[in-house]
Amino acid sequence: MNKFSCFHLLSLFITSHLFPLSSCNSTQDLINQICRQTSDFGYCNDILNRNLPSPSTDLIGITKLTIVLTLSSAKDTKIYLENAEAAEKNATRRQLYAGCADDYNVVAQHTMLIGITGGWWRI
């Protein structure tokens, strides 16, 4: 599983709203401000920079990016959990995997709602 869970990405999305839009802030300054709020600055910085749509992405663009990355991570993790559940012979562990997969559905649904209500769903 990816060490940068969808919950961390969702927190990036939420914290990105804490900073006012400013034409003075460069894209890298915005990324640095956001990533300083996470537990793994280097990984956060790397993943956002590797996936930027353009070098001059603004805060709204970074927010859209975090939504996409959150949904992608949640989907990948859910697939991993479903495969682990199917392969698990222990009934108790299968139930735990199923519960975790359900939790990732909740994250994905809330992330989509945030994107839709924010008017950003057509990314």
Q: How confident is the model at residue 39 (pLDDT cuts 50, 70, 90)?
A: very high
Q: What is the pLDDT of residue 12?
A: 58
pLDDT band at 3 (very low <50, low <70, confident <90, very high): very low
Contact 123, 64 (CB under 8 A): yes
Q: What is the DSSP letter of 56?
A: T
Kindly report, residue by residue over 7-25, the tens digit of the pLDDT. 555 555 555 555 544 444 6
Q: Identify which has the larger pLDDT, 46 or 101.
A: 46
Task: Please give the DSSP secondary-structure letter assigned to residue 43.
Answer: H
* pLDDT exceeds 80 at position 89: yes
Diameter over CA atoms, the chain: 56
- Locate 69 and state its tokens: 């990355």
Using pLDDT thresholds of 50, 70 and 90, give the confidence band for residue 42.
very high
**What is the reported pLDDT for 121?**
46
pTM across the whole model: 0.65
pLDDT band at 30 (very low <50, low <70, confident <90, very high): very high
pLDDT above 50 for 122: no
Which SS3 state, helix, strand or coil, does residue 66 take?
helix
Contact 57, 31 (CB under 8 A): no
Per the CB < 8 A criterion, the answer to whether 76 and 36 are in contact is no
Distance CA 56, CA 118 (A): 21
Placement of tokens 């914290």 in the chain: 15
